[in-house]
Amino acid sequence: MKIRDIETIKLSSREFYEQDALAVKEGAEHHMDVVVVKVTTEDGEIGYGESIAYGALESVATTIEKILKPLTLGEEVSPVNLWDKMYKSTFRLGRRGIIISAISGIDIALWDILGKEFGAPIYSILGASSRRIKGYITGGYYRQDKDIEKLLDEVKSYIDKGFDTVKIKIGGLKVEEDLKRLRAIKDNFEKVDIAVDANNVYDFNTALKVGKELEKLGIIFFEEPIPTDFPSLSSELAKALDVPIAGYETAFTLYEFRDIILNHAVDIVQADAAWSGGITEMLRIGNFARAFSFPLIPHYSAGGIGFIASLHVALAINSPMIEYHLRYNPLREGLVGEIKYENGEFIPPQRPGLGISLKEEIIKKYRV
């Protein structure tokens, strides 16, 4: 099969941003922007991918259309070979951010086509079985009107849906205020496991101080405590703390994760198919992490295509858990249809490829 065309579909949901608040001070959140990548083969087969575009829809789409599309048109649908070609051909343009996010979307779409060609889900052609995988829910985002009582209501809503593990945002308030929120959850829901996510906001000394307090609370992991740019400092933090350090979702490609893993900067590796380099690169990152006995727990924050892509990889590399959100986001289930879970576990798609069908009415409503 050869590639006949690549199309970008720019989607943006401002409602997502308006109905929740910033994850951290100075703002880690943007409008929910994703570029859906549609790859069509010469025999008419179609595959879909997702590139995360936080505030950069035009830049990601232009990168795909003007730089990556000419490199791939007429080529065989071979995700691994085309990933390497796209990466090597763009070395002057960067090794992180927009370039890798753009490559990610094309790569996911190519795997979708490959699965359809073989008539099997992607995880199946990668040698994995259709097992259920435990999910954890990220929440605790800040809003001016969200007091502790409302935070507890939020956590209870996740429990009512069958989940027993939550990840709560920290770093947007004074340390003691954040700890007060965590203690309230711990006191009210004894059987719930709690992780936290600082979104890179702390310096080393503050992270060390916070980490010591998190140990007392039995927090199961401390995500992105310091900026991703300092793997050696993160390594020192991991050595000094008993609470596991998780990260770094804001790293890109195997090469950056290589330095994180070799430095033992984390205890848990986190990557995302929609921006770390697609299914091809996430598989490489997961297998490299496995060689050092580090689990990879996929990150998730954007559209439904990206989540499903990471779910396929999680099955292929035997991830113990996967992240999910239940806050309002029409580009999640609204875009790809029902994402099935039961008793806090996700049920893999059974149809070929990614196993999704895009909803045209959602594309029409949120298309930019």
What is the tens place of the pLDDT at every residue in 205-247? 999 999 999 999 999 999 999 999 999 999 999 999 999 999 9
- Same domain? For 58 and 176 the reply is no
**Cβ 366 vs Cβ 13: under 8 Å:** yes
**Cβ 107 vs Cβ 277: under 8 Å:** yes
Instruction: Walk across the sheet containing 32-41 and list its strands.
Output: 3-13, 32-41, 46-52
- Same domain? For 19 and 105 the reply is yes
Residues making up the chain, counted from first to last = 368
Q: Count other C-beta atoms under 10 Å from residue 126's C-beta.
A: 17
Residue 13: the pLDDT is 86
Please identify, among 87, 103, 120, the residue that sits at the C-terminal boundary of a domain.
120
- Same domain? For 144 and 51 the reply is no
Residue 81 domain boundaries: 3-120
Average per-residue pLDDT for the chain: 94
Quote the distance between the C-alpha of residue 10 and its chain's center.
19
- Same domain? For 264 and 137 the reply is yes
**Cβ 115 vs Cβ 121: under 8 Å:** yes
Q: Which two tokens stand for residue 111?
A: 């795997």
The tens digit of pLDDT for each residue in 7-60 reads 999 999 876 554 554 544 444 556 689 999 999 999 999 999 999 998 899 999
Quote the distance between the C-alpha of residue 109 and its chain's center.
16
Please identify, among 74, 96, 120, the residue that sits at the C-terminal boundary of a domain.
120
Contacts (Cβ under 8 Å, ≥6 apart) of 364 = none
**Cβ 288 vs Cβ 254: under 8 Å:** yes
- Same domain? For 98 and 151 the reply is no
